[in-house]
Amino acid sequence: MKKESEYTKWVACWGNATSITDRKEATFAKDLTLRYPLFMPFEGIRIRLRFSNLTGTEPVTLTRGFVALNQDDYVSVPILFREQESVTINPGCEVESDEIPLLVPAGSTLNVSMYFQGFTQLNAGTLITGPLSTGKYSYGDFSREKDLPLDLTRNTNWFYFLNTVDILTEEKNHALVCYGDSITAQSWPDYLTLRAWEENHRNVSIIRRAVSGTRILRQYDCITYQAYGLKGATRFPIEMNVAGASAVIIQHGINDIIHPVGVDVNPFRPWSDMPSLQDLTQGIEEFYIKHARKLGVKVWSGTLLPIFGWRTYTEERDVLRNELNQWFRNCKDFDGCVDFDLAVRDAANPRAFAPGFDSGDHLHPSESAYKAMAYAVPVELF
């Protein structure tokens, strides 16, 4: 254990995007416990948590919450807000907890538990997957208990309200932000976390800011596609609120290219939504690069993956994808490029995934491909 005076810097050690949840028949819950186990990549002596109702349309009341390290002497420590256990988060708002004195060992798991007693609108949350990204929910208040009741508990990959966990840690530690859509909402950021740990890079956290279906230039306002999230100009400044961020990898833009099909096919996806290369590059420069520079954060591009065989694939779309990828690789406004496309494409047929790297839908990678993406990230970003 180091001296307390050596812990001088707040760094985000876990982070998620907040978006509009998928619009289903049931949008409210009552008497619900949510629990999320979070990997802690480096040690610290205090934590603080941010909760978000950014996309909610009604106030949400968190009745009580607890954190606990997942170890034998499981001790639930209350999460307080201005010394009160309960907090109401107004629609469009976020709240930050009081600082919690807690010695967090590197490599430990922090359980964050939340209990919502009354009817709660579940409109603010994001679907994420990966080996480090599974939560649980229970009917009833078990927020301070070590074990959740088997008969009242199920797993979930929807992460509601919990947005960021910061830790007071050493100056050497920093956060790397992974920004994107469904491909980033899936496994490669988790594999990147595991890779950093296995390679003994114990000074970096991987903060995922990703929403499935999201686009750079536009967003959907219909309930069918609301879960696809906010457009880039709105999302990026919000999601780059990351303590200790040193760099961001932007792997974004494929949905702008593959979504438009014409109103005769889908009334919400007109051909007028189809961007040009200039539309995409100007959007990335204006919405992403300029804002990141204001924050003093390095910006790395991430090339777009193959789409051959996807249901809206056309040669014209693939030409645009390749043109954007060439810009990602060569544009001097970036500090570097992570060539995900090169890491997962078939050398004999670059339009398609390499054998074993296609999940089956010809858009999203397989788990082995997500691992390859994680290993494509240059070690200098650690």
Confidence class for position 6, pLDDT limits 50, 70, 90 = confident
Taking only the tens place, the pLDDT of each residue in 110-161 is 999 999 999 999 999 999 999 999 999 999 999 999 999 999 999 999 999 9
Name the one residue in this structure whose structure tokens are 């920004």. Answer: 179
**Which token pair is 380?**
């200098």
- The strand pairing partners of 111, in sequence order, are 37, 68
**Three-state secondary structure readout of the chain:** CCCHHHCCEEEEEEECCCEECCCCCCCEECCEEEEEEEECCCCEEEEEEEEECCCCCCCEEECEEEEEECCCCCCCEECCECCECCEEECCCCEEECCCEEEEECCCCEEEEEEEECCCEECCEEEECCCCCCCEEEEECCCCCCCCCCHHHEEEECEEECEEEEEEEECCCCEEEEEEECHHHHCCHHHHHHHHHHHCCCCCEEEEEEECCCCCCCCCCCCCCCHHHCCCHHHHHHHHCCCCCEEEEEEECCHHHHHCCCCCCCCCCCCHHHCCCHHHHHHHHHHHHHHHHHHHCCEEEEECCCCCCCCCCCCHHHHHHHHHHHHHHHHCCCCCEEECHHHHHECCCCCCCECCCCECCCCCCECHHHHHHHHHHCCHHHC
- What is the C-alpha to C-alpha distance for residues 244 and 103, in angstroms, rounded to an integer? 19
pLDDT of residue 241: 96
Whole-structure pTM value: 0.95
Helices (DSSP H) in the chain: which residue ranges? 182-185, 188-198, 232-239, 254-258, 277-283, 290-295, 315-330, 340-344, 367-376
Provide mean pLDDT across the span 178-194: 98
Contact indicator for 84, 77 with CB cutoff of 8 Å: no
pLDDT of residue 1: 58
pLDDT of residue 70: 86
- What is the C-alpha to C-alpha distance for residues 165 and 69, in angstroms, rounded to an integer? 14
> What does the CA dihedral 60, 61, 64, 66 come to, rounded to 10 degrees?
20
Provide mean pLDDT across the span 50-60: 96
DSSP, res 120: E
pLDDT of residue 73: 85
**Cα–Cα nearest to 254, from 210, 193, 289:** 210
Taking only the tens place, the pLDDT of each residue in 275-331 is 999 999 999 999 999 999 999 999 999 999 999 999 999 999 999 999 999 999 999
- What is the C-alpha to C-alpha distance for residues 9 and 46, in angstroms, rounded to an integer? 10
- What is the C-alpha to C-alpha distance for residues 155 and 137, in angstroms, rounded to an integer? 6
Burial 174-186 (b: 16+ CB within 10 A, else e): bbbbbbbbbbbbb
Provide mean pLDDT across the span 177-205: 97
- The strand pairing partners of 138, in sequence order, are 33, 153
Residue 369 has pLDDT above 90, yes or no: yes
Type of residue at 54: L
* Ramachandran assignment for 307, one of left (phi > 0), alpha (psi -120 to 50 degrees), beta (any other): alpha
CB atoms within 10 A of CB 268: 13
Provide mean pLDDT across the span 359-382: 97
